Structure formats: structure tokens, C-alpha cells
């Protein structure tokens, strides 16, 4: 008799579930639940574009709806299926998405007196209101705890746990004081199903703790009280109401209690895996292994790797033991704008001669750009329209396009933008390789990877590495299902990954002549990158336009 698992994936605008048989890559049932609150699920503030909150009720409603849907679907479509064969649930979520809770682990947002207070809601990963606090944390850590900073690439972000909590205390002390503790979304969900009523006792994700809350076993868990006191004595007090130990997602977060089992139609005692971030679980669903860089490509890009060498790497978002695959160091990096860069260009700049709507424009831009070879347009772009996440960790940067003539066409700029994101990707790869991280091949997932073959071929040529594509669009939910299976069957994640993930047949192999031209263009990108992005770099850029011209001539005569 088969055993099944459910992987739950909580994105920015919706959540979903997939049901899989343990040991097989087939997704047998799926359900999507768009968050009903706010704009596309996000509570926004017209006066402050940095505000991004969510209602925790949406998370709970989405969980119930999706689980019921996939069970119903499986009962109809999977011969012999019954719900008690579902052995465990796994949880992939956005993060740092921080929920203020009371001493009973109930979100403040569920209480009448806080139901209209945005500060009592979940603080979504992309809430950027806490930049002042993030800078304060970076500064203090640089001074007295450089080891904390080294682990998160040298700069603490406004998207992360401590910045958000401190900002809440600064702007709304009443809500802060009413918050007994704070839980990440990935920890909140399994805790709900266990019925846990003590936030200090619930399972806590090493992925969330290590990447966003400066947690490491090596220095005794969360940041020490001396450090927190310097930030704000209240944070030192809070430390006692958080957690001492965080765990990998192959560990149990408890099991479904009787009440929820009845409500959902699952067996009481169904196992719950410790949660983790969507990208990290997505990497597992995309067959991550030592030597494979996973690029999760959406509006921005998240890069994941695993390695055995435990070290800090400057300019990457974080290196955390067990955060991706237990036993390995998980490395997270990323690019601030990839899909967003193309969307900006198509929706604001591209003339309608390329098509009447966004889809048509993308199709025709891509087709036209695909007619040319590397260097033929004489253009070069930086990919900084939304700042630079890695390796500069500087949001105060902007875009740059160089080489345009009186004949430059929109599809040429579009190709230059694709290339810019590829150069940005190579910059990260090179930083990793300099730190002895093995990057043999790149596995891309997400809509862009599935749909844009031109882009994937350019990435192969720019990075001079084989590009493979994930075999599913639901890598995060599949990853969550794998961790559920690991908890249910006490099998290693690596072994389950071999059974439960597949890659697409499409493989993009570097083309020698293109690689040669791109290596010249990358040298110019590198000059612009350092000249505009690295303080104290002084150089002459006189040859950049000349070289672009020469490369163009050569490429057109080849």
C-alpha cells in the first residue's frame, strides 16, 4: 500500500498544496488559494510604499482549503487512495514573514482590539519599513559582533526578523508590548495544526533562524543579550520568549491534533515537518546537490547552493548549516530584479509595434532578439534598476545602459537587459568560486526558466555552464513534500530527492563562440560594476565604448 505526503507552499499572493506519493515524482493532486485580503493578498499603505503586511487568517484559511481540496481530488482520481495514507505534511513559506503572537501562540491579529491594526498583522518578507533599524543592526554588529554579520553577507536587511521586530517597537510600542513572542510563518503553520499554545515550545526552522535572525549553534543560538541590549533592552527580554534551538526540516514539528484532524479529514497524529523558506525547499524540489546552483527565477532571483565547507562569503545573503539539506551548509544569494526588470521595460518603454499586450510584446521581443548573436548590438546594461542584492548588497544603486546609437531598437535593449541579469548571475557565481564553492552546473526554475529559451541559452553562454531546468513549476511544494516524507519515513532527504524530483529534458549547453564574446562583454560589465558599485574604485572607462564598438564590429563580421 502506498504512502502519501502533502507539500504546502505559501507564496506572496497565494498558497498552494500538492499531494505526492512517497518515492515518486508525480504530483497527484494540487490546489491553489489566493489570499483574499488586501491587494492580491497584501495589505498596503497608500502613503508608504514600503509597507507590506498580510492577514494571518488568510494563511489558516488557505491551509484548510488546500488540504481539503487535494484530499478530495486524490480520492476521486488516485485509485485506492484514502486520507489516512497521508503520513506527513511539509511547509514552505516566504520569509522573513513575522507574526506577532500572544502567550497562547495566537496572532494578535485574531483579537478584536488589533483586528484593524496593520502592525499586528504578519510582516511580509518584502515589507521595507525597517531600513533604519536594519542599518542600526548592521552598524552595531560590525562593531561588536562581526561574526554575526559575516554569516549574512556583511549587511543586515530591512526584510529580516530583528529589524522588523525592533521597528514595531519603535513605531507602535503598544502592539509590541502586547506581543508575547514572534513567529515566522513557516513555524506558525505546523504549530497551528498541533494546537500548540506556547510559542516558546513550538518547532522553529533553522532556515528562518539562521538566515534571518542571526541564529547559529556555534554562538549559542540567537544573538546574545549583550548585543540585543545595545539595540534595545526590550529585545534582550524578548530573547527569553523566543527559542533556544532551531531545527532542520527533516525533523518533526509535532503532529496534527484531534480537532484539526477532524476538520481537515486527516488521521490524527499525521506528522508535521519543521517548515522552511520557499526558496530553500524549492531548491530541494529542483534537485539541488553539491555543485549545482539552483536559480529560482521570478520577479527577483533567489540562488541556493549546498557545500560542505563552513565559511562566511562576503556579499551573499547568508550561509547557514542545515538550511537547505541537513548536513550541508546552505548558501543563499540573489538578484534584486530579473523578471521585474523585463516587466518594467515591456510595460513602460516598448512600443506597440512589438505587440498589443504584454504577452505579445514579450513573444516578439524574444523572437527578434533571438535572431542575433552576442555583441552584435553593441549594448551593455547593468541590472541594478532595483538595487543590487548580491554581491554589493546596496539598494541605493540604479540602472545603466550604454552603447545605444541612433539605430538602437527596443528588442536590442531587451536582449541587453537579459544579458545584464546573466552577467549579474555570473558575478555571484564567480564570488562563490573564489570561495572554493563548486558551481558545475546551474538548474533554473520558475516561469522564466520554463518559458524563455533565449534567456536560458544566454545564461549558459555567459556563465559558461550547462543550464538545466527543473521538471516541475511547483518546486517549493515538491520540496515541502520531500521533507514531509523524510519525517514520515525517516529517510534521508538526498535519497528522497532522487526518487521524487526530476529535471526537464531541455539542457542548454554553452556555445564556444558566444562564450568567447560574452567573456569580453563581461569584462566591461565588471568595470562598470566596480566603478559605479564599489566605493574607492578608481579607473578609466575610456575604453568601454570603444571596446563595445570593436566587439560589435567583430560579432557582425563573424
* Chain residues in the site for a second copy (CB under 8 A): 337, 340-341, 343-344, 348-352, 378, 384-386, 396-410, 413, 531-542, 544-546, 548-549
Please report how many Cα atoms fall inside a 13 Å half-sphere around the Cα of residue 167, on the Cβ side. 25
Residue whose CB is less far from a second copy, 111 or 549: 549
Of 101, 11, 17, 99, the residue nearest 63 (C-alpha): 17
Q: In this structure, what C-alpha cell is assigned to residue 284?
A: 530541494
- Rounded Cα distance between 461 and 282, Å, is 25
Q: In this structure, what C-alpha cell is assigned to residue 454?
A: 533565449
- Rounded Cα distance between 27 and 481, Å, is 10
CB of residue 131 to a second copy, shortest distance in Å: 13
Residue whose CB is less far from a second copy, 110 or 532: 532
CB of residue 139 to a second copy, shortest distance in Å: 18
CB of residue 338 to a second copy, shortest distance in Å: 11
Query: 202 with 196: CB under 8 angstroms?
Result: yes
Residue whose CB is less far from a second copy, 426 or 548: 548
Residue whose CB is less far from a second copy, 92 or 416: 416
CB of residue 3 to a second copy, shortest distance in Å: 45
CB of residue 526 to a second copy, shortest distance in Å: 14
Residue whose CB is less far from a second copy, 262 or 537: 537
If 0-12 CB within 10 Å is exposed, 13-18 middle and 19+ buried, where does residue 435 land? middle
Residue whose CB is less far from a second copy, 112 or 542: 542
CB of residue 361 to a second copy, shortest distance in Å: 9
Contacts of residue 272, Cβ cutoff 8 Å, sequence gap at least 6:
88, 89, 91, 190, 193, 194, 203, 252, 253, 254, 255, 256, 487
CB of residue 408 to a second copy, shortest distance in Å: 7
- Rounded Cα distance between 345 and 347, Å, is 6
Query: Strand (E) positions, 311-465?
Result: 318-321, 329-335, 380-382, 400-402, 441-445
Q: In this structure, what C-alpha cell is assigned to residue 231?
A: 539595540
Residue whose CB is less far from a second copy, 396 or 512: 396
If 0-12 CB within 10 Å is exposed, 13-18 middle and 19+ buried, where does residue 357 land? exposed
Strand 122-123 versus strand 48-54 pairing type: antiparallel
DSSP secondary-structure letter at 274? P
Residue whose CB is less far from a second copy, 313 or 420: 420
- Rounded Cα distance between 115 and 518, Å, is 54
CB of residue 401 to a second copy, shortest distance in Å: 5
Residue whose CB is less far from a second copy, 1 or 356: 356
CB of residue 525 to a second copy, shortest distance in Å: 14
Amino acid at each position: 500500500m502506498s504512502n502519501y505526503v502533502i507539500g504546502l507552499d505559501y507564496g506572496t499572493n497565494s498558497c498552494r498544496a500538492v499531494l505526492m506519493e512517497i518515492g515518486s515524482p508525480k504530483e497527484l493532486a494540487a490546489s491553489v488559494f489566493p489570499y483574499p485580503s488586501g491587494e492580491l493578498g497584501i495589505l498596503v499603505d497608500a502613503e508608504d510604499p514600503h509597507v507590506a503586511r498580510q492577514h494571518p487568517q488568510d494563511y489558516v484559511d488557505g491551509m484548510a482549503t488546500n488540504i481539503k481540496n487535494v484530499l478530495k481530488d486524490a480520492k476521486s482520481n488516485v485509485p485506492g487512495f484514502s486520507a489516512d495514507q497521508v503520513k506527513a505534511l511539509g511547509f514552505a513559506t516566504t520569509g522573513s514573514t513575522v507574526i506577532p503572537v500572544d502567550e497562547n501562540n495566537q496572532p494578535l491579529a485574531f483579537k478584536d482590539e488589533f483586528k484593524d491594526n496593520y502592525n499586528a498583522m504578519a510582516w511580509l518578507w518584502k515589507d521595507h519599513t525597517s531600513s533604519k533599524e536594519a542599518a542600526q543592526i548592521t552598524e552595531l554588529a560590525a562593531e561588536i559582533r562581526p561574526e554575526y554579520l559575516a554569516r549574512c553577507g556583511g549587511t543586515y536587511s530591512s526584510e529580516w526578523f530583528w529589524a522588523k521586530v525592533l521597528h514595531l517597537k519603535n513605531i507602535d510600542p503598544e502592539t509590541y508590548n502586547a506581543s508575547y513572542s514572534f513567529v515566522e510563518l513557516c513555524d506558525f503553520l505546523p504549530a497551528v495544526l498541533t494546537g500548540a499554545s506556547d510559542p516558546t515550545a513550538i518547532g522553529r526552522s533553522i532556515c528562518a533562524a539562521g538566515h534571518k535572525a542571526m541564529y547559529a549553534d556555534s554562538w549559542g543560538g540567537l544573538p546574545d543579550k549583550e548585543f540585543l541590549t545595545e539595540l534595545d533592552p526590550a529585545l534582550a527580554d524578548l530573547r527569553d520568549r523566543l527559542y533556544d534551538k532551531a531545527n532542520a526540516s527533516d525533523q518533526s514539528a509535532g503532529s496534527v491534533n484531534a480537532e484539526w484532524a477532524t476538520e481537515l479529514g486527516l488521521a490524527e497524529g499525521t506528522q508535521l515537518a519543521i517548515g522552511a523558506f520557499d526558496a530553500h525547499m524549492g531548491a530541494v524540489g529542483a534537485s539541488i546537490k553539491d555543485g549545482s546552483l539552483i536559480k529560482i527565477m521570478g520577479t527577483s532571483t533567489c540562488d541556493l547552493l549546498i557545500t560542505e565547507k563552513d565559511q562566511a562569503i562576503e556579499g551573499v545573503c547568508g550561509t547557514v548549516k542545515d538550511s537547505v539539506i541537513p548536513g550541508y551548509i546552505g548558501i543563499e544569494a540573489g538578484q534584486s530584479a530579473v523578471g521585474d526588470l523585463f516587466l518594467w521595460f515591456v510595460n513602460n518603454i516598448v512600443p506597440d509595434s512589438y505587440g498589443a499586450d504584454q504577452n505579445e510584446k514579450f513573444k516578439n521581443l524574444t523572437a527578434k532578439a533571438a535572431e542575433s548573436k552576442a555583441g552584435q548590438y553593441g549594448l551593455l546594461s547593468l541590472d541594478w534598476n532595483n538595487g543590487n542584492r548580491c554581491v554589493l548588497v546596496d539598494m541605493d544603486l540604479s540602472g545603466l545602459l550604454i552603447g545605444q546609437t541612433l539605430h538602437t531598437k527596443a528588442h536590442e535593449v531587451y536582449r541587453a537587459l537579459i544579458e545584464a541579469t546573466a552577467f549579474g548571475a555570473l558575478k555571484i557565481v564567480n564570488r562563490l568560486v573564489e570561495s572554493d564553492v563548486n558551481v558545475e552546473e546551474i538548474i533554473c526554475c520558475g516561469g522564466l526558466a520554463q518559458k524563455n529559451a533565449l534567456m536560458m541559452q544566454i545564461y549558459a553562454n555567459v556563465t559558461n555552464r550547462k543550464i538545466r531546468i527543473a521538471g516541475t513549476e511547483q518546486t517549493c511544494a515538491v520540496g515541502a513534500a520531500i521533507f514531509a516524507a523524510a519525517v514520515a519515513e525517516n529517510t534521508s532527504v538526498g535519497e528522497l530527492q532522487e526518487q521524487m524530483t526530476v529535471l526537464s529534458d531541455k539542457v542548454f549547453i554553452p556555445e564556444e563562440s558566444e562564450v568567447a564574446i560574452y567573456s569580453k562583454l563581461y569584462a566591461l560589465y565588471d568595470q562598470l560594476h566596480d566603478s559605479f558599485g564599489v566605493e574607492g574604485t578608481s579607473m578609466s572607462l575610456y575604453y568601454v565604448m570603444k571596446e563595445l564598438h570593436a566587439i560589435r564590429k567583430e560579432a557582425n563580421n563573424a
